[in-house]
Structure 1
């Protein structure tokens, strides 16, 4: 078929579909529009018109909690809208538990579904697929996770849970799979050498955390990965994937009795053992700049200092304050001053990564290499001015309204809810945390946000890492509503 005929038939097809859609609408249209809108059930999508300027509602979470016989913490939300359930196990088994062997936690987690006693990785994947189930896993600095999504029908559920219990409780750690994954990780390290943003991030964490467990990447290092053995994986699994070190989050079409039986089955499949000790707090780093020479047209800039842990009482105030500074995308101070008025970057953002111990507060961007020094000073001045003056009332009101509008998305699906439950359980937050957080946000005033931001951030304490070429510098363009030079394209990777 020629391109011309293909286009002709395509347009005819689209026209036919449009006519059918119009016909279906006319046939199904009610004879008279209702005089008053009917109240929509709480579990259906809300029309924006029906909101009448009010923030959309979110799903109220009735969280049930208990502990298994082996010591695992369970959080459960019944959700009968879909005949499915989501299960998420969160272990204090992230890279902060590597104990001198960077990459041990990551490799242990990656190897979970590579084999069990009578099945290899292909058979495991096929087993989940044939059941319409989905297995997921991942390892980070604080935690490691394993998840299952399955149909709730008894036959499908029991088969999926049996396979899941084997994968998380009795992985065989086959040597050939370990060799393959090691090679993939090592190849990734080679790729990282061509990524200035990644190089800058690795250097930043080293400078921020020194000898602390957060200092090294969750992926490990090119020096540590080759020497990790199957025996080390087994020992780490036995210790870090113990039931007493687990949080079981469960959401879906299950009764309380079914949820208890499911959690008991999963907990019993895990090694027996207690929770691991929480990560210690880091020491304050030495402030100042460092530079990584890299051939590029752009320079990556990272500015950071230690922020807060997840249970800090100022969390809500800092979250709101950062939304105004650089966490809320377009309209933030950093985006307005650095991109919109001067065209210095494609994008700039800031954020607190609150973890079990104090995570980083970070500002990140890429800019033209010849403007990097001036851009760095501009960003520092914006931060300094914001901490000194605080947000305006309009900025605060706009940020509150935006958060109220986006908040329902945090519980929009069962997958979203199970993630929230996992965090609540892992960080020992209150069961009413979701509602409490938004109430705290809406109650904050300008003075409280200013005080919290100034308490936790000091402009002179920033650790700064840049990655790019050493080139003669130019003066920054003056601010304007129409920058002469537009920012470069998508940041280099």
Structure 2
């Protein structure tokens, strides 16, 4: 053991030398030489910013563009929200065409809408004539066909729109306001609307589409209910025919028939021009005059007469389906009736406001008779209808009709509650800014004002009338206009007595709105 001890000393000495070298290297790394280059500083953007510096130097541009935030707790819910100031202007062209205009410089765009008293109520002996004429406007003009016209608008970044309803037919243009785009777009739009060529091949194609659509309607119970409702409520009246026409009337039309209709109703005296966008009054006058110069010359169409009073009736149409569609309604009012505001608000409370309405509470929430139920007030040039629509199981039809009649009678006799009226006023005032939130909405409002000959400050008057309404005002208005003895009922579904255990669903609820686009482009707030 003693002889082995000296042999370990060289190993111990070696370990001590290695340990000393490690310690020395560590010390050298911690203290770099003065000649070594200084470390590269971090980029300025990575340095933390002192909040005090932000407050001392605010972003002036952002502060100018963004309004100060307001706490929701500080908002007075009893006061209507701020309304957009609408500088609406009105004049007539040399031919007597009425023009409505508002300058809006926020976007470099212009919206134009032309409204003609050329809807289905002017069809005469050929139902569908107004619809076919309007649909053919952009199918050809001069030497341009539908493809060339569409390419022309697309090349200019412009959009052409058209539609036909019972009271009116419309044509619209949305275009950029830059000179090189605006002038060309207005020129093409003017040619399309004022000088359509009604080509034979396009006429045959559109007629076949309408004929196919009529066959498809036979498979849609909501469409059948709507057609029967209008026919029974307006027998022998221009509102009673189907805007899409009938097979016999469509077959009897020719391109020449459409040309005659266009020359009679798409005239300077029968047109309203609405313009909203990034142009001044002088340029708006030039555009309106350009449109009026191009349109056929002619007078305004006669005003549609009011229908004869209807009597109470119930018509059932058998349809092999799982549900029964129900329409209950009667004559309402024209667009000029002084009770419009009261009936509009009352309808919102009754069934026009969705899940907060009284009918929804009675039909869906309390009894589970339907997924949805709604009521609509459709004021038109002549007396338009008011209607309640829903669908339910066939074995629940009698109960559903009883609830509808009871709800209508109670509303006529008692009116709404104070709470319902206050809530609906807040809703209408809250929604109203959306009706003037963009140029397209404003031009539709202007067109509606012009077409129905309403005062230029109609929108403000409407809101003021809504705010002044009382429960008694609404009750009295409903009692004046809605006689239970003139109530019409249409049901479409399985034969009475054939029960169906399938639950009511929403698959066809949108069809209940089917067919009638009411005669107003955008009523207030969705009028």
Same fold (TM over 0.5): yes
Q: Match for 2:162 among 126, 137, 146?
A: 137
Cα RMSD of the aligned pairs, angstroms, is: 2.8
Q: Match for 1:410 among 431, 435, 439?
A: 435
In 2, Cα distance between equivalents of 1:134 and 1:310: 30
Unaligned runs of 5+ in 1: 1-22, 477-484
Contact 1:137 1:146 in 2 (8 A): yes
Q: Match for 2:54 among 31, 37, 45?
A: 31
Q: Is 1:466 the equivalent of 2:483?
A: no
Q: Match for 1:488 among 482, 485, 505?
A: 505
3-state SS of 1:224 partner: helix
Q: Is 1:399 the equivalent of 2:424?
A: yes
Unaligned runs of 5+ in 2: 1-45, 512-527
Contact 1:343 1:486 in 2 (8 A): no
3-state SS of 1:176 partner: helix
In 1, Cα distance between equivalents of 2:417 and 2:240: 36
Q: Match for 1:329 among 340, 354, 358?
A: 354
TM superposition shift of 1:342: 1.1
Q: Is 1:265 the equivalent of 2:290?
A: yes
TM superposition shift of 1:70: 1.5
3-state SS of 2:371 partner: coil
In 1, Cα distance between equivalents of 2:411 and 2:229: 23
Contact 2:415 2:475 in 1 (8 A): yes
Tell me the equivalent position of 1:237: 262
Alignment of 1:204-283 (within 5 A): 204-283=229-308
In 2, Cα distance between equivalents of 1:187 and 1:149: 31
3-state SS of 2:240 partner: coil
In 2, Cα distance between equivalents of 1:63 and 1:43: 27
Tell me the equivalent position of 1:312: 337
Aligned residues: 459
In 1, Cα distance between equivalents of 2:411 and 2:56: 52
Q: Is 1:119 the equivalent of 2:144?
A: yes
In 2, Cα distance between equivalents of 1:91 and 1:30: 62
TM superposition shift of 1:395: 0.6
Indicate the larger mover: 466-475 or 451-460. 466-475
Q: Match for 2:384 among 351, 354, 359?
A: 359
Structure 1 residues 39 and 385, CA gap change in structure 2 (3 angstroms) = farther
Structure 1 residues 264 and 43, CA gap change in structure 2 (3 angstroms) = farther
Structure 1 residues 201 and 475, CA gap change in structure 2 (3 angstroms) = closer
TM superposition shift of 1:461: 1.6
Q: Is 1:186 the equivalent of 2:203?
A: no
Tell me the equivalent position of 1:11: none
The TM-score normalised by the length of structure 2 is 0.83
Indicate the larger mover: 206-215 or 42-51. 42-51
Contact 2:391 2:504 in 1 (8 A): no
1:199-252: per-residue Cα shift (whole Å, max 9, x none)? 011111110000000000111112211110111111110010001110000000
Q: Is 1:430 the equivalent of 2:447?
A: no
Structure 1 residues 242 and 261, CA gap change in structure 2 (3 angstroms) = same
In 1, Cα distance between equivalents of 2:102 and 2:154: 25
Contact 1:348 1:363 in 2 (8 A): yes
In 2, Cα distance between equivalents of 1:29 and 1:489: 58
Structure 1 residues 29 and 268, CA gap change in structure 2 (3 angstroms) = farther
In 2, Cα distance between equivalents of 1:474 and 1:331: 30
3-state SS of 2:492 partner: strand
3-state SS of 1:276 partner: coil
TM superposition shift of 1:491: 2.8
The TM-score normalised by the length of structure 1 is 0.88
3-state SS of 1:171 partner: coil
